[in-house]
Amino acid sequence: MLQLFGGTRRFLSEKMGNIIKKPEAKIVGVDIKDLSREGVTYNAKVSVSNPYIVAIPIGEISYTLKSADRMIVSGKIGKPGSLPGYEETVLEVPVRVAHTILLSLMEDIGADWDIDYQLDLDLTIHLPLVGDLTIPVSWKGEIKLPTLSSIL
């Protein structure tokens, strides 16, 4: 009986996944949220549109911050809430980076005191009948490093 239910769910998921609208997400900006002696917290703003009349629960948000093909930091935020129906919601994803990690990327810093980076986010939501849906989004930019005077 469980095999029949699992097979039916997979069939519905495949067929309905191609027909129904899916939520869309995009990163709209990355700013410095907090600066301390231990590190910097960057705030990624993710705009997510919900095409349904009902709220959709968010399972998790996972992120990876890379520079020069090296991973700087990665993490997950579990169960960050839900997306209200027929709305566009801006989620804030905090990304904490220790100063020691940023300083290990000295060859990329150069004269302009910044680091070129790529932020990859996976937003996992749960859709009834379809199951979990992961929406990958990416953003490329520059991290301006704090000066010594701004830390002190």
pLDDT value, residue 146:
60
pLDDT value, residue 21:
81
Which run of H or E residues covers position 149?
helix 148-151
β-strand partners of 68: none
pLDDT value, residue 70:
84
pLDDT value, residue 97:
87
Domains of the chain, by residue range, sit at: 22-151
pLDDT along the chain (152 residues), means of 10: 57 60 91 86 94 93 90 91 93 89 66 80 87 92 68 56
Domain 22-151: top CATH class:
mainly beta
Phi/psi class of residue 131: alpha, beta or left (left: φ > 0; alpha: ψ in -120 to 50)? left
Assign 3-state DSSP to the chain and report helix, strand, coil percentages, each to 5.
Answer: 20, 60, 20
pLDDT value, residue 107:
59
pLDDT value, residue 99:
77
